[in-house]
Amino acid sequence: MDLLRFITCGSVDDGKSTLIGRLLYDSDSVSLDVLATLEKKRTATNSTDVDLALLTDGLKAEREQGITIDVAHKYFTTPRRKFIITDAPGHVQYTRNMVTGASNADLAIVLVDARQGVIEQTRRHTLLASLLGIKHFVLAVNKLDLVGYDEAVFERIVADYQAVAQQLKLADVVAIPLSALHGDNVVRRSKQIAWYQGPSLLEHLESVPATIDANPNEPRFQVQYVIRPQTEELPDYRGYAGRIQSGTYRAGDKVRIWPSGLETVIDAIEVNQQPVAAAVAPQGVILRLRDDIDISRGDTVVPLAAHPAVVREFEATLCWMDERPLRAGRKLLVQHHAAVVKASVTAILQKINIETFESQGTDEAKLNDIVRVRIKTALPLVADEYRQNRVTGAFILVDDQTGATLAAGLIAATDPEYFTQEVPAETAFSI
């Protein structure tokens, strides 16, 4: 069975949590005891309907305030597919939690309140989701019951969103009119919305292409841990344990180790202590290499035919997640999966204006800003551009003192020829 990971996003109160509750409820994925708890709550608050949002708003503060603060994960399975849902918070202040959820999703459901239409948060979340490499979008026009199930309202919102989709060059957007509260077009097609001929949300989720692994043509494998039993039976065994990040590895492949550049051959690939002829992303494997060379955690093993960029300077897009703003010259750590290196942000080049999606000059990144920066690292990194490889193009920035995660980073350019040419005046002065 396939796996599809999706995220719900949109502004506060657009109905994200209710929609997930409805999906779970109408697909028979909520257990009786959990329903009983909801029912108790309903009677206690004198409401007519059970509050489906309570199925995902799991924290005390969330239930008290009726909002979503952090990402919740929910799981359900239909005969067709297994789903992992991430319910993201809508408040601007919790944007970093939305980014957390989007980083692992294959599809984004962008909710819009039919009464409000496309608003800034719709644009912001669509931008973030597309930036993070999500390929499939659903525009869920919710609360249609509150506008008399009016087709004209739906069409107007779809047209507005088209403009957003075009600007961001989204390839796959499907618009669905629905009411999460009443269940119209969520699992079952709605009788109220007879003018809509398309699939229900669940039908669509069951049919979009499932998880595609990052760039199958450029194999990448990073060493996580070196296995050396040093026992009597296996005195000299040395295995490099790690995850295939993209592509296929075959026993017998000639490979190069980065960043050292040394060459060797894969003698064997082991999965669960058995040799296999080949393995693919995202399998966890052990590589046995022919030559006794110095390899440690964070090193990358790639076939000779592959072409990784191995660089000490690159440009990246950051989603800045710390309260303290980022200024040029800041020293920090780049964590590129198993590789952690000292680094410095040498320039802050541009900031994306969420309203217009245009770049503007800036000399700092504030909480939730999206900026383009240049980064220098103390040691070389095996870097790919994020749009080429969603695994090896990703990194995080970490505060070397507190250990806090400061930013999500997406590698934008590794070749100086494609670096941002005009450094804005303010930044140029502050370097």
Partner 1 sequence: MPRAGAPILTAMPTPIYLDYLDRLEAEAIHILREVAGQFERPALLFSGGKDSIALTRLAEKAFRPGKFPFPLVHIDTGHNFQEIIDFRDSLAASLGEKLIVRKVEDTIRTRGLHEPGGKYPSRNPLQTYTLLDVIEEFEFDACIGGARRDEEKARAKERIFSVRDDFGQWDPKRQRPELWNIYNGRIQKGENVRVFPISNWTELDVWNYIQRENIKLPDIYFAHERQCVVLPSGQLLGLSEHLNLDDTDEIVSRRVRFRTVGDSTCTAAVESGAASIDDIIQDLLLAKVSERGATRLDDNLSETGMEDRKRNGYF
Take residue 396 and report the two structure tokens written for it: 């995080």
| Shortest Å, Cβ 153 to partner 1 | 34
5, 14, 16, 363: which one contacts Mg ion (CB under 5 A)? 16
Q: Which residue has the tokens 């005046």?
A: 425
Say which amino acid occupies 93: Q
Q: How many of the chain's residues bind ligand GDP (CB under 6 A)? A: 17
The binder of 282, among ligand GDP, Mg ion, partner 1, none, by C-beta within 5 to 8 A per type, is partner 1
Q: In this structure, what are the phi and psi dihedrals at residue 22, rounded to the nearest 5 degrees?
A: -65, -40
224 lies in the binding site for partner 1 (CB under 8 A): yes
47, 75, 418, 428: which one contacts partner 1 (CB under 8 A)? 75
The binder of 143, among ligand GDP, partner 1, Mg ion, none, by C-beta within 5 to 8 A per type, is ligand GDP
Tell me if 246 sits within 8 A of 213, measured CB to CB: yes
Residues 10-39 contacting partner 1, CB under 8 A = 31-34, 37
Residues 47-86 contacting Mg ion, CB under 5 A = 68
396 lies in the binding site for partner 1 (CB under 8 A): yes
SS (H, E, C) 325-361: CEECCCEEEEEECCEEEEEEEEEEEEEECCCCCCEEC
Residues 71-90 contacting ligand GDP, CB under 6 A = 90
The binder of 13, among partner 1, Mg ion, ligand GDP, none, by C-beta within 5 to 8 A per type, is ligand GDP
Name the residue nearer to ligand GDP (CB basis): 124 or 143. 143
11 lies in the binding site for Mg ion (CB under 5 A): no
Identify each DSSP E strand in 101-168 by its residue range: 107-113, 136-142
DSSP assignment of 188-202, as one string?
A: BPPSTTTT--S--HH
Q: In this structure, what are the phi and psi dihedrals at residue 346, rounded to the nearest 5 degrees?
A: -85, -25
Tell me if 183 sits within 8 A of 141, measured CB to CB: no
Q: Can you tell me the distance from the alpha carbon of 393 to that of 413, in angstroms, rounded to the nearest whole number?
A: 10
Q: Is 30 left (phi over 0), alpha (psi -120 to 50) or beta?
A: beta
338 lies in the binding site for partner 1 (CB under 8 A): yes
Q: How many of the chain's residues bind partner 1 (CB under 8 A)? A: 71
17, 122, 222, 245: which one contacts Mg ion (CB under 5 A)? 17
The binder of 279, among ligand GDP, Mg ion, partner 1, none, by C-beta within 5 to 8 A per type, is partner 1
3, 194, 212, 293: which one contacts partner 1 (CB under 8 A)? 3
Binding mask 132-151 for ligand GDP (x = CB under 6 A): ----------xx-xx-----
371 lies in the binding site for partner 1 (CB under 8 A): no
Identify each DSSP E strand in 248-389 by its residue range: 248-250, 254-258, 262-271, 274-276, 278-280, 284-289, 300-303, 309-320, 326-327, 331-336, 339-352, 359-360, 364-365, 370-383
Contact positions toward ligand GDP, by CB under 6 A? 12-18, 53, 68, 90, 142-143, 145-146, 179-181
Contact positions toward Mg ion, by CB under 5 A? 16-17, 68
